Structure 1
Amino acid sequence: MTNGSITGRVRRLMVESPGSVGGRARARRLELTSSIFPDLQDMSVIDLGGTVDAWLTAHVRPRHVTVINIEDPGEAQDWITPVTGDACSAVATLVEAGLAPSCDVVFSNAVLEHVGGHANRVRFAQSVNDLSSRHWVQTPYRYFPIEPHWLFPGMQFLPVAARTRIAAVWPLAHSRAESLANARHEILWTELIGMTEMRDLFPDSRIIRERLAGLTKSLIAVRSD
């Protein structure tokens, strides 16, 4: 068995297959979302930073979903409207697209850590609150011992130069960086946060700790009223 096939199997076991650790966590998040918003199937949702494909495989189908992503969010469906744009300025993005800048609930999964620093996280949180009084925003927890994007222990605590070198060669990354410059770009656009900043960004929300093996793996800001 080649090294590539071994690492591929490890990554599928950890995060990519439906039965993986990550796959089961995603399923639990949707179950949690449905329990917090039991009428989700009757609601309009704006997904900040998501994809059409993610909703097509979800076990719950809201009345309508608008997906905003700075990259291609996918193809439109009869109940999903994709919009290419910046989630940190979601209201302006929707108005420019001729869509209503409001919804029943805002949803975002593993996006907050990729928006480009604290100032943009503040803008992102403001967008969430501007769109709806209800939201569900998840982000990986900085102090979980394994960095979730590269599956490398403690990587988030290393200097940028060290993280860049790891990202350039580490076989368990989601995708291998094409160059050292590309690896550095991915590193600089990935910044995990802790509980203090999450509470500061969403002071009126309940912060739920998602745990794995008793340790906090991610944080979820929820407001359901």
Structure 2
Amino acid sequence: MRSQSIRERVVDRNESFGGKRRARRWDWLVREFPDIDQMSVIDLGGDANTWMQSPLHPKHVHVVNIDTPPAEVPDWITADTGDACALPAEFDSRRYDLVFSNSVIEHVGGHERRLRFAESVHRLAPAHWVQTPYRYFPVEPHWIAPGMQFLPVRARAVFARRWPLAHVRSADLREALTGVLWTELLDRSQMRYYFPDSAVLGERLAGLTKSLIAVKKS
């Protein structure tokens, strides 16, 4: 589909505008944690492929995602199925140097679940990097749709079904509602509430804050 091709050129491919922004964010992560290649990292809600394609590998990465992990990963990656808001008790006996999370906290399902997510972040390691798209950036990043996040829920769902740049086209209105209801962008006050001892940094685009990153160094 032509619209999907446009989306790939804009955000999905590594050489796209979005791909270049992700590369810059990775450079920023390395500047904040220059010894990351010596760190044990737990990635909450991430993807093993992201780390496999990264230019610098941590000593070890443990990826935890609700989706089924890939069958094969390098020996420096462990990939498990799990809920970052309700991790098994066995995780409490493990120690990591850094918790990493990219564009996950806005999808976990409401304030109470975000609290549980933040508790996992604080408990698992002395340092963290938690990124989320900023609610008041004028373009909703998941659908690449101007102002979509400010519409009423039903209007967002109707819009999501018809908008050509959506990552996945919904089969019906209920499926579109599911996607909309599981996507709740955050602002600075919320990030400061969940991460009160962290620096909440702004990633900027064209002078506007595009995403927020809660950073804490050990």
Q: Which TM-score bucket, shorter chain as reference?
A: over 0.9
Residue 59 of structure 1 pairs with residue 55 of structure 2? yes
Residue 77 of structure 1 pairs with residue 70 of structure 2? no
Residue type at the aligned position of 1:80: I
CA–CA separation in structure 2 for the residues paired with 1:12 and 1:198:
30
8 Å CA contact retained: 1:16, 1:23: yes
**Deviation of the 1:115 alpha carbon:** 0.2
Provide runs of 4+ in structure 1 moved above 3 Å.
none
Partner SS state of residue 174, structure 2: helix
Partner SS state of residue 196, structure 2: coil
Match of 1:114 in 2: 107
Q: How does 1:1-225 map to 2 (within 5 A)?
A: 4-5=1-2, 7-75=3-71, 76-90=73-87, 92=88, 95=90, 100-225=93-218
Partner SS state of residue 142, structure 1: coil
Partner SS state of residue 100, structure 2: strand
Structure 1: 5+ residue stretches without partners: none
Partner SS state of residue 57, structure 2: coil
Structure 2: 5+ residue stretches without partners: none
Residue type at the aligned position of 1:104: D
CA–CA separation in structure 2 for the residues paired with 1:73 and 1:55:
13
Residue type at the aligned position of 2:203: E
CA–CA separation in structure 2 for the residues paired with 1:114 and 1:27:
23
Q: What does the per-residue CA deviation read over 1:153-203, in whole Å, with 9 as the maximum and x for residues that have no partner?
A: 110011110011111121100111122111110100000010010011101
**Deviation of the 1:12 alpha carbon:** 1.7
Q: Report the identity percentage.
A: 53
Comparing 131-140 with 100-109, greater Cα deviation is found at 100-109
CA RMSD, aligned part only? 1.4
Comparing 138-147 with 65-74, greater Cα deviation is found at 65-74
**Deviation of the 1:100 alpha carbon:** 4.4
**Deviation of the 1:17 alpha carbon:** 1.4
